[in-house]
Amino acid sequence: MDLLHIVSSICNSSSLKEALYKYAVSKSLLGDYKFVFASDSGPSLGFTTNKSFSSGAAVRGLFSSTNVVVIDSDTFNEMASGTATFHMDQSLSLDTQAVSYLRPHMHGKNHRLPSDMDEVFRFISKPNVQIDPMPYVFENLRNMGVDNREKPIREILNCYEILRTIDVEHLQSAGLVRSTLSEIELENSTDAHLNRMRSHRADAVFYGALVQRHRYLYAILLKMVDIKLSSPSSSIDEMTMKFLEFCDKELACMFGREAVLARAYFLRGQNLTFFGKIQKNKSDILDALDNMAWDLYHVRQLEETMTLNVSPSARYLLPALLTFDKRFIEVMDLYPLKSIAYRKDGGQILPFHATDLPSALASSDEQKQSIFQRFYSDHARASRSSRLEKARDRLGETVETLKASVRKAACV
């Protein structure tokens, strides 16, 4: 059995006991692999998952449970000796809409926060919460250097700097939000952040990779809508197969989380509120899908954030996202993780969901088997691998073709 199959077997264990046994048997082969499991019996993640606020905001992480168990060689050795300490850092990403909701209540304005917003700010100001601005940064890199765009970007970055440095004592005593930094320090910190964005935008390799990843998700959403609007009388299973065939043939890459989203959309249409604005005769349908692709990007980015280097005192970084967008929350709740494995050096990320993918995409055992054989067998994977580079090279052309098809189907 090769290493990838060993890792997959551990992640797909039916119980924590089984996972620990499999890890023990293969420990010498696993090197610096790290594993995180959703577990009702694990230590609490604190802020990172499934918290809702009266203001309508919600915190969502990658796992369905509020508890996890983590395994790596150090933690496993501690378990074997009797007691394990789970050393974790925790980060909180805020999407663009979240900052828009919070911004009017910042800068120490002389009125107390309304109770629903006070709850959110007190949560953000906890010492174990690290604010991550990357959702906003990634979405707005394309606006750097564009006339009249950098000033509003700087204003939002200033808000992020305040959120990172909230004066907790003043918040608790006066109910007002301000930074612990002086005005000059705050301005300098904001300018430094803006300069980092300029640097990222000027980095052709970095920015090109960002654009390419967003383009994949945009293509996926375009195909979902093209299928739904062009073939409204097709069955849910037929639509699902069309989508999977597109991913396999045109992209040479399967997108599990997004495939589950596609099936939910085919089944529920606009009742899946993430797609509530997607309908015929809407002139801004392509712009709406472009923005929705960023939402999907941010969910995938949470998985990658787990692999980032953490502080010397922590072995794991557990990310979550704060949003006021109920449509986005609905998407994150569709397909939570059961477990995830990754290498310490930030190598391949292997997410495993609470429901296996063929089961989540099929309405019968026969169709489940058909999906597995056509798209997830060793032969199918090898075929995609051989075609991936060519598919990547023509992705821009694929997107343009899909945009034309969606415009036609939407009558715009």
Q: What is the pLDDT along the chain (412 residues), one digit of tens a residue?
A: 688 889 999 999 988 889 989 999 999 899 889 898 887 765 554 445 578 888 888 888 888 777 778 888 888 887 777 666 666 777 889 988 898 889 988 865 667 888 889 999 998 998 878 898 999 999 999 999 888 889 999 999 999 999 999 999 999 998 999 999 999 999 999 999 999 999 999 999 999 999 999 999 999 999 999 999 999 899 999 999 999 999 999 999 999 999 999 999 999 999 999 999 899 999 999 999 999 999 999 999 988 887 776 566 667 778 889 999 889 888 988 888 889 998 876 667 888 888 888 889 999 999 999 999 999 999 999 999 999 999 999 999 999 999 999 999 999 8
CB 395 within 8 A of CB 219: yes
What pLDDT is stored for residue 46 in this prediction?
Answer: 46
What pLDDT is stored for residue 259 in this prediction?
Answer: 96
What pLDDT is stored for residue 164 in this prediction?
Answer: 93
Quote the number of domains for the chain.
1
* 181 lies in some domain: no
* 256 lies in some domain: yes
DSSP state of 15: S
* 198 lies in some domain: no
How many Å apart are CA 60 and CA 58, to the nearest integer?
Answer: 6
What pLDDT is stored for residue 84 in this prediction?
Answer: 64
CB 106 within 8 A of CB 162: yes
* 367 lies in some domain: yes
Closest-CA residue to 38 (of 15, 13, 72, 63): 63
What pLDDT is stored for residue 306 in this prediction?
Answer: 78
What pLDDT is stored for residue 47 in this prediction?
Answer: 41
CB 172 within 8 A of CB 232: no
* 326 lies in some domain: no
Sheet-wide strand order for 130-132 = 51-52, 58-60, 316-323, 88-94, 130-132
Backbone angles phi, psi at 267, to 5 degrees: -80, -40
What pLDDT is stored for residue 69 in this prediction?
Answer: 82
* 365 lies in some domain: yes
How many Å apart are CA 133 and CA 124, to the nearest integer?
Answer: 13
* 63 lies in some domain: no
Reported as half-sphere exposure (CB side, CA atoms, 13 A), residue 127 has a value of: 1
> Residue 264's domain spans which residues?
204-317+355-410
* 112 lies in some domain: no
How many Å apart are CA 367 and CA 289, to the nearest integer?
Answer: 29
Q: Write down the pTM of the prediction.
A: 0.90
Q: What share of the chain is helix, strand, coil (3-state, %, to 5)?
A: 60, 10, 30
SS3 244: helix
Crossing angle of helices 378-393/395-410, nearest 10°?
A: 90
Beta bridge partners of 68: 38
How many Å apart are CA 251 and CA 398, to the nearest integer?
Answer: 9
